[in-house]
A and B are shown apart, each in its own frame.
Chain A
């Protein structure tokens, strides 16, 4: 297993490299640049801006510069200045020297910030929301799916699947404002918008205070975001469990006289979880890196917005940063999913 994981991690580097090359090529191939405005700037001003951000260099050199800044660690005798150009994600002091690694570059659309600032200040908010939404999705989705499968073609099944269909068909863009209207504006149970934690975050991700105030802000968006995913999980759990129940080994288990509850829990459920776990990987990556609509609807300062606006703004370093981050989380989540397979299905071996 250890060797398997090591091999996968090496693949990860290859994947990131390929993703970065494709993204870099595509974003520069799209017409338009970061400094194209409604009011076209004079060419000299654009030249100044291009020079400031090294966009006047040949593309290959720009790409090389990017890889160098992101992947190659630096060692310096002076502490980092923390300026826009000298901002590293990882800065460690070892004796008298400073070890600096990963500079994802500046953002063109917010001149006093860097992509690293977005990772430090916006990513944790998105991750907090994403994890809570995923919990909501699992807690609602799995029991609903199991119930529907076990009571197939009964009122429970129809009711459960109706809820699931509702969850899939009502997007956050509808559900969000309705929830805000009912629980935020009318009943005043929750604050209509906002997020209950702000930077700096503990360990780069957790809110400093995990009190009721945090959850007051988090409940509405987590439910709104998680409901759609819970529907997917419920339907998948139901379908998978129904299929498993028809397997020979279930018949065998029943034939040897096992109690029905044992048959379901020990034999059917565990085996039916594989497809569910499979989608949890990508789902996790998607939820944790931020979701544009939920964040805009609920006024949450997460990073979902940057996936969209960086492309419309041609904010090259942010495009690269967000896509590499997404790729990284997706690959790691899939790796974890593969490891969980081995536990769920003893026939799966990676050695």
Chain B
């Protein structure tokens, strides 16, 4: 059954977008998109159950046989990503932002939902497809949609950030396209598994090494790996808060999957980490990201910017897991995809609540807000603790497996550095918590009139906060799937 409707995972949101454009009714579009995403989530979960334990579901678009036709191919790795993206989309879309993004008037709100659906379709497409060029197309669909979404933020700088994001993202996309072209030249095929089977990477083959370089740099831009992260803090802090929550929870995660897939499935761990020794670059960059981005987060006075810099640091943890190239570390990186999506998505939704009630998320404006909005503030604390990696939260789970993976590899210094970087997270989270609970509200602030956020906002934020605790205590599902995915990747499969 599920293998017959697998393609709907992408087709439904892709076709729901024009339906929204045609119907032009904001309320309809809101619930329609929510319904579509709910169906996608159901398909993703069904797929995950189907492929757990090494199964694979394949779909031939248009009835054309792979490797000539485009194949959608779902294994544990893809199903995990699909479930992650659709779950986050579901929670974020159910967040009632009371009037949508500030830039979009009522009569144009249907377009906002259409763009949101296109973004989801693009991300799901990247995760599901088994065709290299198809990935590029979906990458650009999701990127173009996210540039638009970012530009809808209320502040004038949102448009400028979207422009930067567009320039960086397009360069990344073109790099990716060139990399795919070189691979096609090398192997004569675009099917990922076929490329992997035919490619015999060696250091003497400059075309292959160049392809790897282009792909890695291109994806790294989209993933915001440390020195290429420049677009991210601005984009996340000026986008509408709901959009920040969605992008922070999904976009970089899908890029991470793409990077892992290129490194492990196409080129294979023996070449990338044995011959080429990519970890010599990836590991220092990850550690730099953890420290410099966390350090930058400490000095931010705006909660959104703080969280955005923290996102760059968290990408560092993920790529650190990648560079260990062993099952534990890679599983740690993969499980951090989900864990970070849950906590950062939740935190950005909390930001949306605060923005709605307080009107600003400047740290000073949040002084003493813990008494006025106790539930929102509590969700903020849970997310913050999870960022630090306190036991009992998802952040701890990620760091535990990351540290185990790093130690397994024998990199004791890196393990120590992971723990030290948590101290930086403690500082920036502590700064927020201190302001929210222990600082006296500034005199000028009309803080007495601030009430708890409405239920439609609070509930989704709390779903993610609760998930951050729940999956911090029960790791069977998340780590189980991630471990299986990691082993699959290391074996060169998808």
User: Are A and B a genuine interacting pair, yes or no?
Assistant: no
